Chain A
Amino acid sequence: EVQLVESGGGLVRPGGSLRLSCAASGFTFNSYEMNWVRQAPGKGLEWVSYISSGGDTIYYADSVKGRFTISRDNAKNSLYLQMNSLRAEDTAVYYCARITYFVGFDYWGQGTLVTVSS
């Protein structure tokens, strides 16, 4: 069974940092591209970042470029999101999501809440 489990969310002050993790199981992690998608309270889904299966291709949404860093450790079946210079508008539930070519985001984690507030 495919499982994605996020962790690392919490309350952080504006300007602070947080590192999210996503532990993957039930599939060959190093064969799949991965993403982070977020959802602000009461709002729609917003794609945040993408990383290829080998980690050599990375994309970011303009809203987080230069502040967030996506990475993965295929030996540990884990995906990460390092978030720096956090702003109030980064407050959201952050989901890790697997993407399958031609299919889309086919598996999602349960999400982890990040709250940026003083």
Chain B
Amino acid sequence: DIQMTQSPSSLSASVGDRVTITCRASQSISNDLNWYQQKPGKAPKLLIYTASSLQSGVPSRFSGSGSGTDFTLTISSLQPEDFATYSCQQNYGTPRTFGGGTKVEIK
């Protein structure tokens, strides 16, 4: 199975901060990497697919980059509604594994 490792597992940031979350795959997955946002008690929401494509309706302050084994999700200017948990997920092989999640909290 392809293991997905996210870092950090949590972070504290202020509104307006630039936030970067990383995800590393245990083997090359090309650009088959998606990012999800999840708020407490809610289902995950797709933000980014194929590493850098913005899902329809997602604000442009969210961006993704990377290929191979190393990927990054960036929020250019953190907004109050962005405090949530972010998870990466590989679409390269079965099982479709997820990272452990990064909780973004208010500083």
A binds B: yes
Residues from chain A with Cβ under 8 Å of B94 in the complex: 50, 59
* CB <8 Å contact, A103 and B46: yes
Q: How many A-B residue pairs have CB under 8 A?
A: 54
A35, A45, A62, A104 pick with most chain B CB within 10 angstroms: A104
Residues from chain B with Cβ under 8 Å of A61 in the complex: 95
Q: How far is the CB of A60 from chain B (nearest CB, A)?
A: 8
The number of chain A residues touching the other chain, given as a range, is 10 to 19
Q: Which residue of B lies closest to A109 (CB)?
A: B43
Residues from chain B with Cβ under 8 Å of A62 in the complex: 1, 95
Number of chain B residues close to chain A: CB under 8 A: 23
* CB <8 Å contact, B97 and A47: yes
Q: How far is the CB of B49 from chain A (nearest CB, A)?
A: 5
Q: How far is the CB of B59 from chain A (nearest CB, A)?
A: 17
Select B44's contact among A45, A102, A103, beta carbons within 8 Å. Answer: A45
The complex places the Cα of A61 from the Cα of B95 at a distance, in Å, of 6
Q: Which of B1-52 contact A (CB under 8 A)?
A: 1, 34, 36, 38, 42-46, 49-50
Beyond A44-B101, A45-B89, A105-B44, 18 additional contacts (C-beta under 8 Å) are A35-B96, A44-B87, A44-B98, A44-B99, A44-B100, A45-B44, A45-B101, A47-B96, A47-B97, A50-B94, A59-B95, A62-B1, A102-B49, A103-B46, A106-B55, A109-B43, A110-B42, A111-B43
Q: 12 A-B residue contacts at CB 8 Å?
A: A44-B87, A45-B87, A45-B98, A47-B97, A47-B98, A62-B95, A102-B49, A102-B50, A103-B50, A106-B55, A108-B45, A110-B43
